[in-house]
Amino acid sequence: MSFYGTSNLHTGREIVTHSAKMNAEASAQHLAQILEAVPDVPIVLLWDRAPWHSGQVIRDLLAANPRITVHRFPVAAPKLNPQEHVWKATRRAVSHNHTIPRLPDLADRFESHLKANTFKSSFLDRYGFNALCPMSR
């Protein structure tokens, strides 16, 4: 069981896709969910270089949806990725010091936590976006 999560860096809300596999097809489904959740506005997607974030299905989806602009993080740079603090906080809340004997139950708790909470990030402030674009909030 895998999760795709994307944070709205302004609101701290997560868009979550639960998938049996981590592959380009599942990534494309997650992108479609993002497009549906955030209609009619440009989307800047900050992505790591996971192999499932590439492939023909991803290229086709991005070509068909020019309102998505992808910026990829450098190789092996998890500290730059604002999504990493979301995974860490969720693991801490859901699986650390908890005994959940069934993996599907753990996955359900993980997904529920992601959907029920906001995850504020200092990423936009750290890199000057809010100073340069104060009206975008």
Ordered per-residue pLDDT tens for the chain, 137 residues: 577 788 777 787 888 888 888 999 999 999 999 999 989 899 988 888 999 999 999 999 999 999 999 989 888 888 878 888 888 888 899 888 778 888 888 888 888 998 899 887 776 666 565 555 554 54
What is the Cα–Cα distance from 118 to 108, expressed in whole angstroms?
A: 17
What is the Cα–Cα distance from 92 to 96, expressed in whole angstroms?
A: 5
Report the predicted TM-score, pTM, of the whole model to 2 decimal places: 0.75
CATH of domain 2-136: 3.30.420.10
Half-sphere exposure of 107 (CA within 13 A, CB side): 12
What is the Cα–Cα distance from 108 to 87, expressed in whole angstroms?
A: 15
Task: Give me the amino acid identity at 5.
Answer: G
Residue indicated by tokens 């800047």: 44
> How many other CB atoms are there within 10 angstroms of residue 82's CB atom?
18
Domain boundary assignment for the chain: 2-136
